Amino acid sequence: MYYDVTIAGFGGQGIMAIGNILAEAAMREGKNVTYWPSYSAEMRGGTANCTVVISTNEIGSPVVAFPISAIIMNLPSLKKYQSRIRKDGLLIVNTSLIDQGEIQRDDVDIVKAPLISLAREAGNDRLSNMVALGIFLAKTQVVRLDSLFETFRIVLDERYHHLIPSNKKAIQRGIDFVTKLT
């Protein structure tokens, strides 16, 4: 099996965090994985993106020009990446920050999700990244939910450990959102 995803948005949206969680979970399932981050010089507010490749074979390039899937958290990222997603791939768009009219692809599976509202419903509107991860998981089943949960204590900084229950709730909210779509 081979799967890759590009996750992109503003710095501070937790882009790198969900990339790390996904990569760590895949590794724990015995798969080969690469995680490649790219960000601008600012600590906050700049653009941030990362690419995760998961495969049962040896992974060549960690850099993926044309990803199978993308989680897009803001408008600049949509403009940059939507044309690059492979045909029949997956595009998850944060409609809390992006006008749906900006979506131009009709040959990929598109999930339009108001991530901030969904995160608020789950109890913390800052966890839109986790909602997105839940959606991604439900759509792709590329890793198991329990593997994902196991990684929290490793990937998240200790000062955020008290937020682990709310993170789990936000992921679950994402999963439920997909279930209701189908």
Partner 1 sequence: MNDSRKRLINGNQAIAAAAIDAGCRYYFSYPITPQSEIPEYLSLHLPEVGGTFLQAESEIASINMVLGASAAGARAMTSSSGPGISLKQEGLSYMAADELPALIVNISRTGPGLGGIAASQGDYFQATKGGGHGDYRIIVLAPSSVQEMYDLTIKGFDLADTYRTPVMILADSVLGQMKESVVMGGRKKSTPTKKDWALTGCEGRSPSIIKSLYLDGDKSSEHNRKLFEKYQRIQKNEVICELNRCKDADLILIAFGSAARIAKTSIETAREKGIKVGMLRPITLFPFPNQQVRDISTNIKDILVVEQNTGQMVEDVLISASENARVTFYGKPSGNVLEAEEILCQIERCMNKVGT
Q: Which residues bind partner 1 (CB under 8 A)?
A: 20, 23-24, 27-30, 32-38, 41, 58-66
Report DSSP state, residue 107: S
Q: Which is nearer to partner 1, 71 or 138 (CB)?
A: 71
3-state SS track over 52-76: EEEECCCCCCCCCCCCCEEEECCHH
Q: Which is nearer to partner 1, 33 or 70 (CB)?
A: 33
- To partner 1, the closest distance from the beta carbon of 56 in angstroms equals 11
Please give the span between the terminal C-alpha atoms of the chain, in angstroms, as a whole number. Answer: 25
> Residues near 32 by Cβ (< 8 Å), separated by ≥ 6?
54, 55, 56, 57, 58, 59
- To partner 1, the closest distance from the beta carbon of 100 in angstroms equals 30
Task: Report the b/e string of 11-21 with b at 16+ CB within 10 A.
Answer: bebbbbbbbbb
- To partner 1, the closest distance from the beta carbon of 15 in angstroms equals 14
Euclidean distance between CA atoms 27 and 61, whole angstroms:
17
Q: Which is nearer to partner 1, 27 or 145 (CB)?
A: 27
**Which three-class secondary structure state does DSSP give residue 50?**
strand
Q: Which is nearer to partner 1, 64 or 68 (CB)?
A: 64
- To partner 1, the closest distance from the beta carbon of 182 in angstroms equals 31
Neighbours of 103 (CB within 10 A): 17
Q: Which is nearer to partner 1, 35 or 152 (CB)?
A: 35
- To partner 1, the closest distance from the beta carbon of 153 in angstroms equals 14
